[in-house]
Structure 1
Amino acid sequence: MTSEQLRELAWDDKERHVLESLRRKVAIIVKFAENPSMVVAGLSIPRERKQLREWVDPERGLWPWKWPALDNPDHPKNGALIELFWAALDKIDAGPQDSRTNLQQDLRDREAIIARQKQQIAELTAENVDLRKKAYGRR
């Protein structure tokens, strides 16, 4: 169905198509959140309600709508969908940052281990020198 055909539908049919479009859009964003590997560079993800409203992809059955009330978090029927949308965006945004943060923490942990091991090597080397001096009678 084209955008023009959607505009020509009766109100009930149009509303049904738009509600299904909202469900599909949120499902796609949730899928991206669950599978971060699907989020590739250059992929345009709607980051706010207006962008979600304007997102059009006829191949996926995604249609725009002009009623902000439809995607309002306080909407009695669609509020839960919009909350899912926000949660999925938060998960997408947190994903790569969490990975970098974890890698940075791993590096700091490893650097601390290396520093402790260097200190142990220095202490053991000094102890070895002392033991050799004692064993061979040198002072």
Structure 2
Amino acid sequence: MPAPFLHALVRAEHSILVVDDNESTRYATSRSLRAAGFNTLEAAAGAEALELVDYVSAVVLDVHLPDLLGFEVCRLLRRRAGTASLPVVYVSAMYVTQEDQVHGMETGADAYMVAPVDPEALLATLDQLILDRGALKH
């Protein structure tokens, strides 16, 4: 039996934080998520992401950021009571080795995707993580 996925109407109840220092990549990811029904927030740096994270159901996190590595952002999220179980999906075009992916998972991420990412694969991953976590933040 195929896994259940969120319907666009249900996706509209959730916001995804897209964190990427590359403006065009951040825009493209956010646009794809909005087209699928999600609300989005955007951040260009780790500190900015940490300020916005309390208002979202999941995070799409680049590893290479100008102030903190995404790995550190994820570690900090896992230490906070309010974000300890927040779904985090790394998407990286620079940190693409097997070692990077293992390290990313060890920092607490739920998934690690190498860019360019298929939008449908990202949607399916987010849908499943949000369903699994019962994420209720909007």
TM-score (norm 1): 0.25
Tell which has more relative contact order, 1 or 2 (C-alpha 8 A, sep 6+).
2
Higher relative helix content? 1
Query: Would you tell me which structure has more strand in proportion to its own residues?
Result: 2
Structure index of larger Rg: 1
